[in-house]
Amino acid sequence: MDQRLFVKGNEAVAMGALAAGCRFYFGYPITPQSDIPEYMARELPRLGGTFIQAESEIASINMLLGASACGMRAMTSSSSPGISLKQEGLSYMAGSELPGLVVNICRSGPGLGGIDASQADYFQAVKGGGHGGYRLIVLAPHSVQEMYDLAMLAFDLSDLYRMPAMLLGDSVIGQMKEALVPHPRPQIELPAKDWVVSGKGSRSEQRIVKSLFLGDGELEAHNWKLYHRYQLLQERESRWEALYLDDAELIVTAFGVTARIARSAVRMAREGGLKVGMIRPITLFPFPQKAFFKATGVVKKVLCFELNTGQMVEDVRLSAARDAEVFFYGRPPGAGSLPTPEELCEQIERHHGRSA
Amino acid sequence: MTKVDTPVFTAPRSLKKVVTHFCPGCQHGTVHRLVAEALDHFAVQARTIGVASVGCSVFLYEYFDIDVVEAPHGRAPAVATGVKRALPDRIVFTYQGDGDLAAIGTSEIIHAANRGEGMTVIFVNNSTYGMTGGQMAPTTLPGQKTSTSPYGRDIANDGRPIRMAELLTQLDGTSYSARVAVNTPRNVLAAGKAVRKAFQTQIEGRGFSFVEILSTCPTNWGVSPLEANERIATEMIPCFPLGTFKDWALDAPGTGAK
Ligand SMILES: Cc1ncc(C[n+]2csc(CCOP(=O)(O)OP(=O)(O)O)c2C)c(N)n1
């Protein structure tokens, strides 16, 4: 597969999911992600897969729950208001230890909001969203290529850790076209799904997929088990991209679409002679705490850019060395435009303490 | 007299031999048995997947010796859709109360039926929310007192009871829809037949099948089990008539059966 394609981010995520072996898609239309169900509706029947346009986001996440309980690679996608509706099912899937992919091509809120790119769903994605104190694997692509790559990774990680994964995109990444080099699914060893319901067949033991634990101490034990799994993820699966950290005097951090603009700003600042580095979290949960802790052991200033009024910055503060200063610059979407590289470069200059 | 060593009455294989948690006089146990007998009758226990809902029946898996997925409140038809689409040759059923199916899960049941999902829905209508302590359900009778309709259900305020078995017949995807009761031995036998027919519908690949079963909740109704059975006859059946409302075998070709 040496081809180079020119596709939309939303198409790339669908292609990545299909290449990962996903054969079940359940969803409900919402801008700016409807290209995903449209792509799946066209391609899945050709692959012998199943596409269902559900009656609601609630129904679609529960269809995903059912297919996943039967051991299938399955996904749903939506945008912010629809993701709110899926929180019930996500909490149940987390409680039932079910894998599956949920794509959130975020738009701005709260409420109906608007359809411009936003990062205001960060809290909802990484802090639980639904009830009960669970976590999702949250991946934040910043390019069309990563929409493809991370969709694949999301399936593997969610199978590996038996928990739902969310791909947290935004309307810019979803709608823009870029080059994509498709590739086959990496061969990684996944645990046997010896828990799926399939009808007892010749088994003597029945299998039950559930999230209700009423026995003495059962629920506490279940929650500790999930907690330890989340700790393991933190240890093993944090991913980030580091740029120019070697001689940096200030670290910039941003994810998703904002990371693209921030990177241009960092380059501009570098060209102006400012020693600026950058950490781009790729996994938002597990958050790359170690990367920040290590870097801020040396560089004491971090500037966090987000398209909201400050959400990831809280995790950055928790991860940074104690004596490091963490600054935030961002704004909620709806102003009609994204920040420009020049605007962010100005912030870098200001916080670096020295004008370029 | 010749000695007869063939038992005339045995426990269904699809049920475990355990004591249930249901209240005295509750008929979930009876309905469980009817479903298990149908699974035994068609010898499909090994390829059946149950979808448990929220309500007194959530512990389905404690009593049925089959694989089970548990669904959020009202969403069993959506979960069952995922299951059936993933494993089309399995027998899939949901088991839902009236709060679960006719209130929070109205959307899911209507659309699963409309898609003609090859599943069987066992709908236990006791006209109240049993598990949460006897609140008003969409099927609560006009004037019926519950903990959230302490002066009796007021149709001006709360609307009238929803008749799900009739309502679902309007959808082309529904192939079989019947309402039965489990208040008398005769009715229990008829209920067993309807449950069998519903599973037959699925086994023959004829689409969506639905059985509404009128049952009691003596605890929350605040009456004895016998009075509760009486109440099904005198109050519930007049509001929720028994009968088969749609049957692929009887309907003209093209109406629902597929
Ligand atoms: C989202 C949600 N809302 C409310 C509840 C609380 N709840 C548990 S059981 C139940 C009522 C169930 O009544 P029904 O479906 O009639 O079944 P029954 O208990 O009578 O068998 C309710 C409201 C819940 N578990 N989840």
pTM: 0.95
Indicate whether A85 pLDDT > 50: yes
Residue B55, both tokens: 């309500």
| DSSP state string for B141-197 | PBT--BTTBTT-B-HHHH-PPP-HHHHGGGSTTEEEEEEEE-SSHHHHHHHHHHHHH
Domain A5-180 is classified in which CATH homologous superfamily? Answer: Thiamin diphosphate (ThDP)-binding fold, Pyr/PP domains (3.40.50.970)
Indicate whether A335 pLDDT > 90: no
Least confident of A115-119, A122-126, B84-88: A115-119
Residues A248-304: tens digit of each pLDDT:
999 999 999 999 999 999 999 999 999 999 999 999 999 999 999 999 999 999 999
Contact predicate B200/B178, CB 8 Å: no
Number of alpha helices (DSSP H) and beta strands (DSSP E) in chain A: 12, 15
Indicate whether A336 pLDDT > 70: no
Indicate whether A306 pLDDT > 70: yes
Q: Pick A240-353's CATH classification: 1.20.140.10, 3.40.50.920, 2.40.50.140, 3.30.70.260.
A: 3.40.50.920
Taking the centre of ligand 1 as the mean of its atom positions, its distance from the CA of residue B128, in whole angstroms, is: 10
Confidence label for A186 from pLDDT (cuts 50, 70 and 90) = confident
Indicate whether B1 pLDDT > 80: no
CATH topology of A5-180 equal to that of A240-353?
yes
Rounded to the nearest 5°, which phi and psi values hold at A314?
Answer: -65, -40
Indicate whether B253 pLDDT > 70: no
> Is B101's Cβ below 8 Å from some Cβ in A?
no
What value does the mean pLDDT take over residues B52-63?
96
What value does the mean pLDDT take over residues A99-114?
95
Residues A218-261: tens digit of each pLDDT:
999 999 999 999 999 999 999 999 999 999 999 999 999 999 99
Domain extents in chain A: 5-180, 240-353
Indicate whether B31 pLDDT > 90: yes
Indicate whether B197 pLDDT > 60: yes
In A23-115, where does DSSP find H-type helix?
A: 35-43, 57-69, 80-95
What value does the mean pLDDT take over residues B52-78?
97
Confidence label for A107 from pLDDT (cuts 50, 70 and 90) = very high
Q: How far is A94 from chain B (nearest CA, A)?
A: 12
The reply to whether residue A92 touches residue B72, judged by beta carbons under 8 angstroms, is yes
Contact predicate B198/B165, CB 8 Å: no
What value does the mean pLDDT take over residues A146-166?
98
> Is B11's Cβ below 8 Å from some Cβ in A?
no
**What pLDDT was estimated at residue B256?**
43
The single-letter code of the amino acid at B248 is: W
The reply to whether residue B75 touches residue A59, judged by beta carbons under 8 angstroms, is yes
The reply to whether residue B85 touches residue A212, judged by beta carbons under 8 angstroms, is no
How does DSSP classify residue B22?
Answer: P
What value does the mean pLDDT take over residues B128-136?
96
Q: Is the CB of B98 under 6 A from ligand 1?
A: yes
Quickly name the fold that domain B27-247 has: Rossmann fold (3.40.50)
Indicate whether A2 pLDDT > 90: no
Contact predicate A185/A21, CB 8 Å: yes
ipTM for the predicted complex comes to 0.93
Among B79, B84, B100, pick the best mutation site for testing chain A contact (most A Cβ within 10 A). Answer: B79
Polymer length in residues for chain B: 258
> Is B182's Cβ below 8 Å from some Cβ in A?
no
Q: Whose CA is nearest to atom 26 of ligand 1?
A: B73
CA distance B35 to B64: 9
Report the mean per-residue pLDDT for chain A: 96
